[in-house]
Every structure is written in C-alpha cells, then in structure tokens.
Amino acid sequence: MQKDWEQVRAKLKYSLGLNVFNNWIEDINLISIDGGRVIISVPSRFTGEYITENFGKEIIESFKNVGRVVTSVKYQVRPSDSSSRKSMEINTKTAQGSTKKSGMKPDKRYTFERFVVGDANGKAHIASWQIANEHEENSNSLYLHGNVGLGKTHLLHAIFWMKLSKNTKLKHSLLTGQQFSDYFVAATKHGKLLEFRERIRSVDAIFIDDIQLIHGKKGTTQELDLTLDTFLSEGKLVVATGLNTIDEMDEFGPRIKSRLQHGFVEKLEPPDYDLRLRILKQKLKDRRSNNFDLRFGEGVLEFVADNISGDIRKMEGALQRLIVTAGYLNCKTITLDLAEEAITDLVKFTKPPTVEEIMKAVADYHGLNLSDLTGPKRVSNVVRARQIGIYLSSELTSKSLPDIGSCFDRDRTTIIHSINKIESLKSRDKELEYSLVKLRRELLQG
Ligand code: ADP
Ligand code: MG
C-alpha cells in the first residue's frame, strides 16, 4: 500500500506542480485504503478540508493510474506535535506572554489618544475606531492605504492596543508584509509550511502592516491570499495597511481583493496646514509628559507646518532637529529665526511642488506638450489633463484660484469647474484615481 502511495505522490507532484505539492501534499501520510475510500492523515481540519476539496479529484485519479480503484478521499487529523511547534518563528502570543522577538513590536506611542483627527484622515480614523470597538462579526476587515508617513501604522497599532485592552487574551499576529514573506520563505525551506499555516491561522486577529512588501513574490502572495481568505471566511479580524489601492494590488487574486473590498477600505490623504499644526502640537504634548520644557517662540510651529507637508515623519524630524539644536546651543526658547536657520535644508526638500512642476508632470504623464495645457485645445484628453493639472495645483500648492487660473490661462469659473469635475469623477473613475495617485506620489517625493 505504501508503495502505491509513493507512486501516487510522484504522480501528484507532476500533475499539481511542485509548488502546490510542496505546499500541501508533501507532509501528508496515507493511513489506509478502505474499500474505495482513501484515508490520509493531516495536521489540521483546515488542511484536510482544503486538500480533499481542492485536490481530491487528482488524488483519486492518481490512484487509478497506479491500478487502485478508489472513489473518495477522507482525512483524519493527527495529534499536534508540540515539540516541532516550538521552532516556529511567528508570534501568536497573548498579551501576557509576549517575549518572543519575532513579528512586529507594537509601538506604545501609537494610540487613538495621540492620533489627531482632521479632514485628511477622518474617515480612516472612524473606520479604525469602529473596527477596534466592533463586537459583531459582520465587518471584520479594514484596509488602510495611502502614501508614506500619513498615519497608517499609527492607526493599525491603535486598533491593536484597543482590541487588546478589551481582551487581554486576544490571540493575535502583528507583522509586516516583509516579515510574513520572511517567515513563509523560511518555513518552506525547512519543511515547516504546514506548521506555519496552522500557527498563523490559530490566531483570532491578524494585523499586517505594509502589505505591499509582499507584492511581487508569487508563492508568498498566494499564501497570503489563502490566509486572508481563511480569516475572513471564519469571521476573524483582518487589519492591513498598504501604499496602494486594492485595485492596484495586481499580484493578489480576485477572491481576496473582493473580500477586502467588502470590508472597510479607507484612504489617508496628506494633512492640510491646520491638521499639520495640530499634529505638531500633539507631538509636543506627547513629549511634555516626559519632563520636556523647551519653549517655542511665536510662529515657530506655524513655520514648520507651513513649510513641511506630505510625510508627517518629516515634520517630526524637523521638530526633533529643533529640539537637538536648542540643546546644542543651550537655549530655552526656540525663536523663529533659529528655527528658520535650523531647518532650511529640510524645508527646501519638502517644499510643495510649484504649479509649473505640476503642469510638467501632468503633461508628461499624458504624453502632451506643456503648451497644450495652457492652449485652446478642446480635445477630450487634453481637457482632462488640464483639469487634472488644475485640480492638483489647488490641492498641492497654496496658490489662490486666480493665480492658478493665470498659470493655465483660464478664468476662475473654468478653474472651479475643473476642480469640481475631478472631485466628482475621481471616486467613480478608477483610471483617473490611479493617475492622481501616481502624479501625487511623483510630485511629493523628495
Ligand atoms: P505610515 O504608516 O502611513 O507611513 P505612520 O503611521 O508611521 O505612517 O506615521 C508617521 C508618523 O507620523 C508617526 O510617528 C505617527 O505617530 C505620526 N502621525 C501620523 N498621523 C498622525 C496623526 N493624525 N496624529 C498624530 N501623529 C500622527
Ligand atoms: Mg507604516
């Protein structure tokens, strides 16, 4: 019988492909063939169900090929082997016993109390709050996306802390896309794939930060696809963050995309001036709780908020720079002059793009000449590009509408019409949304 099994395995390796074979079949054993029924031993119910459902036919077929007539495949779950579990490098810890080094270290500072809410992140904040306080099983996933430094990781950890405060025994896995890949690859290499799977699926909540870091690695994406699918179909909590919209995650299968799309999906936008200023104040308040008594002269925080936009981390960097400079010069108050001197280089790098830069980027993106944007052409693609240019200029620069109008050689009504047009189209028109994301990213980088 075992000899037949060896032959069946060889055939399955061929018919299912090495990848699937290593992932699923390699570790299973044959227990018996009873009448027309094959019984295999598997490490868990999940694996058993998955194998019989997806590869049952191939298994039956392969038995036929070696001259055995079987009609069905059943499984038995073997007792878990606890000694081998110890070697797994994935953190499925509870709050009390969290000493393992694997996974991502939750950051104590990233809580809801310390998160400042504004237009740019309001919806993401509400969704996060809701999912953190949700008891029902119907809305069990949240995907937060947006450019770097806009608060995705902060919110992910805030949800984590809130969940943990409600249930200190919550079994969870908090990791980055990169860590997921690393563990998966290591598990594959050491023949511990099934354990990896059992382990990661035994938790009640999974938090994956920067999911795009798995992007492009085929085996790992498939594995994540499967993991999330299992989680969501079991009503477990999935919180993920990433740079891209769900549609842009080309490597992920349609199943997982549509599942994530059914949960909460929220985007974080770059904060406006008001929100930037409030975040700066919050960051100072956070520090003040640690015996920090440096004074900031009039206009200093406003200067920072005014000149550093986009990535909030850059603003924190500027604040840190001011504090270090004050310490170095041994002064108790940071004046506006000092601030200007200390962070000019940061300001230079993060200055918002000019209207001219935006026009150039938009023209290049659409394969047009710069003059098309200011000229009279009414061809639809030119009109659309012009509207995008106007829209981004109003969003990314502090220029007034008449100023933008004169750059594009258009009157105020046209400017307002263009902005409204893009605003109303962008949520419905995926292609448009995509180009806005691309252009913004390009313009805000550096
Ligand atoms: P992302 O994950 O989107 O790249 P992070 O969550 O790491 O961004 O945020 C970068 C930094 O900015 C963190 O220190 C975070 O605390 C801070 N930050 C972002 N948004 C806010 C906010 N709304 N209130 C307070 N701090 C924020
Ligand atoms: Mg992050």
Q: What is the pLDDT of residues 115-164, one digit of tens each?
A: 999 999 999 999 999 999 886 555 689 999 998 899 999 999 999 999 99
**How far apart are the CA of 148 and the centre of ligand 1, in A?**
9
Mutate to test the pocket of ligand 1, among 154, 161, 210, 275 (most ligand atoms within 8 A of CB): 154
Residue 151 and residue 206 in one domain: yes
- In a domain, residue 181? The reply is yes
Tell me the average pLDDT of the chain: 85
Q: What is the DSSP letter of 397?
A: S
C-beta of residue 205 within 8 angstroms of C-beta of residue 170: yes
- Which of 327, 350, 373 is the C-terminal boundary of a domain? 350
- In a domain, residue 218? The reply is yes
DSSP line for 197-231: HHHHHTSSEEEEE-GGGGTT-HHHHHHHHHHHHHH
**How far apart are the CA of 150 and the centre of ligand 2, in A?**
8
Give the helix/strand (H/E) hosting 188: helix 177-189
Q: For the whole model, what pTM was predicted?
A: 0.63
| Ligand 1 atom with minimal separation from the 146 CA | 3
Q: Give the residue, 87 or 210, on which the prediction is more confident.
A: 210
- Which of 77, 109, 143 is the C-terminal boundary of a domain? 77
CA dihedral 164, 165, 167, 173 (to 10 degrees): 0
According to the model, what pLDDT value does residue 96 have? 36
108: buried, middle or exposed (CB in 10 Å: 19+, 13-18, 0-12)? exposed
Token pair 């270090």 is found at 324
Q: Calculate ∠ Cα 197-198-204, nearest 5°.
A: 105
Nearest CA to ligand 1 atom 5: 151
According to the model, what pLDDT value does residue 90 have? 42
C-beta of residue 265 within 8 angstroms of C-beta of residue 143: yes
Residue 382 and residue 346 in one domain: no
**How far apart are the CA of 194 and the centre of ligand 1, in A?**
36
For 270-304, give one letter per residue: b (16+ CB within 10 A) or e. bbeeebbbbbbeebeeeeeeeeeeeebeeebbbbb
163: Cβ–Cβ under 8 A, 6 or more apart, which residues?
A: 132, 170, 172, 205, 237
d(CA 274, CA 127): 22
| Ligand 1 atom with minimal separation from the 282 CA | 25
User: 222 pLDDT band (50/70/90 cuts)?
Assistant: confident
Nearest CA to ligand 1 atom 20: 151
Q: Give the residue, 212 or 418, on which the prediction is more confident.
A: 418
430: Cβ–Cβ under 8 A, 6 or more apart, which residues?
A: 247
φ/ψ (deg, to 5) at 149: 75, 25
- Mean pLDDT lowest among 25-29, 194-198, 365-369: 25-29
- Mean pLDDT lowest among 128-142, 312-326, 399-413: 128-142
Average pLDDT rounded to a whole number, residues 59-83: 82
- In a domain, residue 86? The reply is no
According to the model, what pLDDT value does residue 136 have? 59
- Mean pLDDT lowest among 67-81, 103-117, 270-284, 336-350: 336-350
- In a domain, residue 414? The reply is yes
Average pLDDT rounded to a whole number, residues 30-37: 89
Q: Give the residue, 398 or 282, on which the prediction is more confident.
A: 282
Helices 412-426/401-408 angle, 10° precision: 100
Residue 129 and residue 251 in one domain: yes
Query: Minimum-distance ligand to the CA of 159?
Result: 1
Average pLDDT rounded to a whole number, residues 192-216: 88
**3-state class (DSSP) for residue 377:** coil
Domain of residue 413: give its range: 355-445
According to the model, what pLDDT value does residue 81 have? 46
Residue 247 and residue 223 in one domain: yes
- In a domain, residue 323? The reply is yes
User: Could you tell me which residues are beta bridge partners of residue 42?
Assistant: 77
- In a domain, residue 247? The reply is yes
The pLDDT of residue 271 is above 90: yes
Distances (CA, A) of 110 to 23, 115, 155: 37, 7, 7
Residue 38 and residue 129 in one domain: no
User: 410 pLDDT band (50/70/90 cuts)?
Assistant: very high
Nearest CA to ligand 1 atom 11: 313
**How far apart are the CA of 110 and the centre of ligand 1, in A?**
8
C-beta of residue 150 within 8 angstroms of C-beta of residue 120: yes
**HSE (side-chain half, CA atoms, 13 Å) at 80:** 12
Please state the domain count of the chain.
4
The pLDDT of residue 93 is above 60: no
CA terminus-to-terminus distance, the chain: 65
- Which of 232, 267, 302 is the C-terminal boundary of a domain? 267
Residue 283 and residue 235 in one domain: no
